[in-house]
Amino acid sequence: MNADIARIVLTEERIAGKVKEAAAWLDGKFSKANTAPLFIGVLKGSVMFFCDLVRAMHTPVVIDFMKVSSYGTNASSSGMPKIEMDLSESVSGRDVVLVEDIVDSGFTLARLRELMIGRGAKTFTVVTLLDKPARRVVSVRADFACFEVGDEFIVGYGLDYAQRYRNLPYIGVLKREIYEDETKGIKR
C-alpha cells in the first residue's frame, strides 16, 4: 500500500465487481437503442472508471470527453465549475451518458445536466463511481452510483490530491498529515 494512504476504502476487486454491475445496468438500458449512446467522461477523475466501464459493456457506444474543473488545487469545491475542454461530438437528439468519478457538492453535475439538456440531448443518464451525499449543496443525484462514501479525503482510481495518487488501483483515505503539511506550505 502507498505510504501516504491511511486505509483502503475500496479494493481493486470490489471496484471491478461493481463496474461490471454498472456495465450490465447500462447494457440493459441501451442494448435496444437505435443509435449508440454517447458516453461522456469528465476528465480527469473519471478516466479509470470510464475506461473500465465501457470495456465491460456489450452495447456499442460512442465516447467523448470534457474537462471540467471545480477544485483547482484546493480541497473544497469553488461552486463555479469551469469548462476547460468541451466535447467534439454534438449531443443534440442523442442518448447521453455522463460518467463521473464522484458527486460531491453536486455543482459539476448540475452544471453539466443543464448544459446537455440545453444542447438538446434526447436523454441524460448519470453514472458515478462514488457518491458523497454528506457534502451535497445542490440537490442532484446520479441514476447509478456504484458506492456511497463518507466525508473523508479519499484518493486513487482516478481521484487525486494536487494531481497525485490518480493511478492507485484502489481508493483509500489520504493521511491527514499529507494535506495538512501542504496547506502549511511545507514542500514534500
Total residues contacting ligand PRP by CB under 6 A comes to: 21
* Interface of this chain with ligand PRP, residues 38 to 97, rule: CB under 6 A: 42-45, 68-71, 77, 81
Burial class of residue 106 in the structure, from the number of CB atoms within 10 Å of its CB (0-12 exposed, 13-18 middle, 19+ buried): buried
CA distance 55 to 173: 27
122 versus 135: smaller Cβ distance to ligand PRP: 135
Minimum CB–partner distance for residue 77 and ligand PRP (Å)? 4
Under the binding rule (CB under 6 A), the answer on residue 123 touching ligand PRP is: no
Query: How far is 166 from 48, CA to CA, in rounded Å?
Result: 9
106 contributes a contact to ligand PRP by CB under 6 A: yes
Contact characters 151-170, ligand PRP, x per CB under 6 A: ---------x----------
Shortest-Cβ-distance residue relative to ligand PRP = 45
Residue 103: CB minimum distance to ligand PRP, A: 5
Residues 40 and 101 sit within 8 Å (Cβ to Cβ): no
C-beta of residue 55 within 8 angstroms of C-beta of residue 81? no
Q: Identify the CA nearest to 183 among candidates 153, 159, 156, 151.
A: 153
Strands 38-43 and 95-103: parallel
Segment contacting ligand PRP by CB under 6 A, of 13-21, 26-34, 37-45, 180-188: 37-45
Q: How many other C-beta atoms lie within 10 A of the C-beta of residue 138?
A: 15
Query: Active-site positions?
Result: 104
The one segment of 5-13, 20-28, 31-39, 105-113 that binds ligand PRP by CB under 6 A: 105-113
C-alpha dihedral, 125 to 127 to 133 to 139, nearest 10°: -10
In the complex, the smallest distance separating the C-beta of residue 57 from ligand PRP, rounded to whole angstroms, is: 21
Cβ at position 53, least distance to ligand PRP in Å: 15
The footprint of ligand PRP (CB under 6 A) covers: 42-45, 68-71, 77, 81, 100-109, 160
